[in-house]
Amino acid sequence: MVAGDSSGALEQIRTHLAAFPRDAMVLALCVGVFGLFGFSGRADRERELADFLAPLAAHYGDDWWFLAVLAFAQVEVGDVDAARRNIDRALAGNPVNANGAHIRAHVDYEAGEDAAGLAWLKGWHTGYAKTGSMHCHLAWHLALWNLDRGDRDAAWRIYAADVHPGGAWGPPLNVATDAASFLLRAELAGEPRPEQYWRDLAAWASAAYPAPGIAFVDVHVALALAMAGSEAALAERIAGARGPAADLAVILAQAFRDFANARWGAAVDALEPACAVHARIGGSRAQRDLLDYTLLAAARRAGRPARRSLDRPRRASRAEPPAA
């Protein structure tokens, strides 16, 4: 894994876990949306992970850690009811587990339980130290729910204090991706483009990730550069793209450049086929909603229908992004 051979690492892990299924330190390399499956670059990696974890459940019983990661895998393939049962069991076993709280937020989001999810997470997050590694990302969830529910002032307060570089506390991967995601979602919701926030983020993200290599991060850094108008830096990132999903990262970077410059038709042409396989870049379904909503907004502004189907249950009451 350290040498960069993720496929080889996965094969060795499969063999090892067949003999030692409760070796959680090895299993942990595979789970979540940022693990070896998540960053494999394969379009079917969500189903692969869920199928990989299912037979291990018998070996872990009521272990709260395993129940949480299993719930995350289940919600990412649309099995919301099973995910709800398992995350409730996980949090009963360890109520202060920040990853468990995070996965509970994803279950509520996919179930369309926005009001309940916001209320629960707000209460849980109040007692969570800002120095906790999940603080920034949980704040992102809170900011998005406030934005979606129309409390723009609260959303911006949370963003400035806990998501934007300089205020956020958490891994650079979360700061880079969550900040870019919130800023674009806010614009899609009708907020004016905050030029200084985009410039701050573009400079910070370029320094935190000076070279491409993680498609999920690269797409969000490209978004920040595009919205900040940093054309030369964006061109360099596109030219240097690498990794198992580099081809898709390049297409999405170009789409964001078109979107930032109001070339709506070109953005639609790039986003439509890319969104059909955007699981390849990694990240959760909730995070990748940004791409689908951007496609819908670009299509509406171009005066043309988007052929991308948004048929997930959570979207039954939100088939389009908020009107821009």
Closest listed residue to residue 100, CA positions, set 84, 116, 114, 112: 84
The letter for the amino acid at 101 is A
- Is residue 309 scored above 70 in pLDDT? no
CATH number of 1-111: 1.25.40.10
H, E, C per residue of 86-107: HHHHHHHHCCCCHHHHHHHHHH
Residues 52-102 have pLDDT tens digits of 999 999 999 999 999 999 999 999 999 999 999 999 999 999 999 999 999
d(CA 138, CA 151): 17
Q: Residue 305's pLDDT is what?
A: 82
CA–CA separation, 172 and 201 (whole Å): 11
Across 204-227, average pLDDT: 97
Q: Which helix or strand (DSSP H or E) is residue 59 part of?
A: helix 57-60
Cα separation, 90 vs 68, in Å, equals: 6
pLDDT in tens, 20-59: 999 999 999 999 999 999 999 999 999 999 999 999 999 9
Q: Tell me what pLDDT residue 310 has.
A: 56
Look up residue 302 and give its amino acid.
A
pTM, two decimals, is 0.94
Residue 68's alpha-carbon distances to 27, 72, 158, 306, in angstroms, are: 13, 6, 26, 35
Q: Output the CA–CA distances (angstroms, integers) from residue 261 to 82, 154, 185, 231, in the order listed.
A: 43, 29, 17, 11
What's the confidence (pLDDT) of residue 292? 93
Would you list the domain boundaries of the chain?
1-111, 172-324
